[in-house]
Amino acid sequence: MWRKIEKILKSKKITINELSKNIYGDKRNMTIYALRDGKIKKPSFELMCKIADALDISLDYFRDKKR
């Protein structure tokens, strides 16, 4: 999962810190870092919706195994 997110981050030139701020605002939240570090194995639907919205992509991107 993280590889797909990382690919989008690189293509949009967004850092993980910026992604976290886009999702959670100014409050410090380690959820995105936990996902990156493999501490979250199966992210919730709600989290994936937040990530997709923050990256301005469709949730379908995460379902397609070819990407």
Residue 20: what pLDDT?
Answer: 92
In this structure, the dihedral spanned by the alpha carbons of residues 20, 24, 39 and 2, taken in order and rounded to 10 degrees, is -40
Residue 51 C-alpha from the chain's centroid = 4
**pTM for the whole structure:** 0.84
Task: Give the HSE-up count for residue 53: Cα atoms under 13 Å, Cβ half-sphere.
Answer: 11
Average pLDDT over residues 10-29: 89
Q: Is the pLDDT of residue 8 over 70?
A: yes
Rounded Cα–Cα distance for residues 54 and 15 (Å)? 12
Are 19 and 11 spatial neighbours (Cβ–Cβ below 8 Å)?
Answer: no
For the segment(s) 2-63, the CATH number from 1.10.260, 2.60.300, 1.20.950, 1.10.10 is 1.10.260
